[in-house]
Structure 1
């Protein structure tokens, strides 16, 4: 005859079985929760990273911009078909906000023979922003007057570091520019290609500046924080879109 365990033993055994079942269920619940969390966020999305971007031009508003040493946007700059554009020479525009370490992305399209530039970390201590802020050159490399040397062709750190040829799209097509600054390190990108990088204040940079016209302005490239600016004083059509920046 089989031995019947005492009531106390039967209760203890039942308790052990329940605890074992709960222990087995918990990992499954956790795994399920993790799996659901993964489905809740689209593949490849990064909300925290995306939230860092600051739009400087959304296709309609110029609220993030003003003129150099003035509170108003100069006449000649206008919005059309979702772009920030100019058709004739006008004054430069600068970002109202200053930036130090940042990543800037924008698209630009230039007319035949056109010439412009993007300045960064510019100050308002001089008569012109290009006397203080380094420039990412924008140019029609085929017919632009500055096409005689790669030091002043599209993507160059104007008159200081040359850009390689072969990455610029034809006149009338959109180009994608990216500028990265971290401390004294600067990178120029065009259409997904890194064109150049340099170190502000390095012996090489100092020698190049000394050999350029910028030697006339002691504070050229010295500011670690300043305005982003778009050059407007050259002839020809010019348009920008999708301008955004984020602090690094």
Structure 2
């Protein structure tokens, strides 16, 4: 290989430290004993004791109405969903959920709930990451657990049997908007179900729509919502929920 005099001279002047970056220094985060444990900078949304970080979706002036016992809380279908008191923009979220072992029903009527990553308002529940018993339970693929509901099917189906605990680890990047309400940058969702990647920097087409095509609406920071679907299935349970703002 031939090198000109100029290129040899330029290479000789380069130093390893020319491409070293020393500041800002990343903050120190202390991890738990396992990846499911909340790190030191996490906000604990549920630690098994109470639902103080949540309120009723039906009436945000009232506390979350779902019962807490033995370190878990359980959907109470007659009371509607629950929503966080705090609003978030970009975050990392950990949540564990369980379909009861005596689940009945088929398809979408089998352990149906939803983790809404940004609720836009009462009755406008935002962007749904589906919760459903998808272990040997046939339904439309963009409606099974791990899907961005009615938009993107999961990349895999790592669901466990009813009665076993399932784990979601989600990175949510909120959309940004121009002054006129048009989308500047779309939302992004990266999600792991039971440690398996099911959404890889997926860009939702807008908030979830049950009927029709989704489209974006300008919004800012938003709470997280857990749905009470109201189907005849036995109620789901949740535990160990924490979040890191990014």
TM-score for both structures, normalised by structure 2? 0.68
Distance 1:89 1:142, change over 3 A: farther
Q: Offset at 1:101?
A: 0.4
Q: Offset at 1:87?
A: 5.1
Q: 1:139 aligns with which of 132, 142, 159?
A: 132
Distance 1:152 1:89, change over 3 A: farther
Structure 2: any 5+ residue segments left out of the alignment? 1-27, 32-37, 104-109, 175-186
The answer as to 2:70 corresponding to 1:73 is: no
The answer as to 2:96 corresponding to 1:107 is: yes
Distance 1:128 1:89, change over 3 A: same
Q: Offset at 1:70?
A: 2.1
Structure 1: any 5+ residue segments left out of the alignment? 1-44
Q: Counterparts in 2 of 1:169-248, with a 5 A limit?
A: 169-183=160-174, 184-200=187-203, 205=205, 213=211, 215=213, 219=217, 222-235=218-231, 236-248=234-246
Give the distance between the partners of 2:215 and 2:193, measured in 1 at CA. Answer: 28
Q: What corresponds to 1:41 in structure 2? A: none
Contact 2:112–2:132 (8 Å) recurs in 1: yes
Distance 1:209 1:118, change over 3 A: closer
Secondary structure at the counterpart of residue 164 of structure 2:
coil
Contact 1:107–1:174 (8 Å) recurs in 2: yes
Aligned length: 190
Q: What corresponds to 2:41 in structure 1? A: 52
TM-score for both structures, normalised by structure 1? 0.67
Give the distance between the partners of 1:244 and 1:115, measured in 2 at CA. Answer: 22
Q: CA RMSD in A?
A: 2.8
The structure with more radius of gyration? 1
Q: What corresponds to 1:153 in structure 2? A: 144
Secondary structure at the counterpart of residue 151 of structure 1:
helix
Distance 1:150 1:224, change over 3 A: farther
Distance 1:165 1:185, change over 3 A: closer
Contact 1:83–1:241 (8 Å) recurs in 2: yes
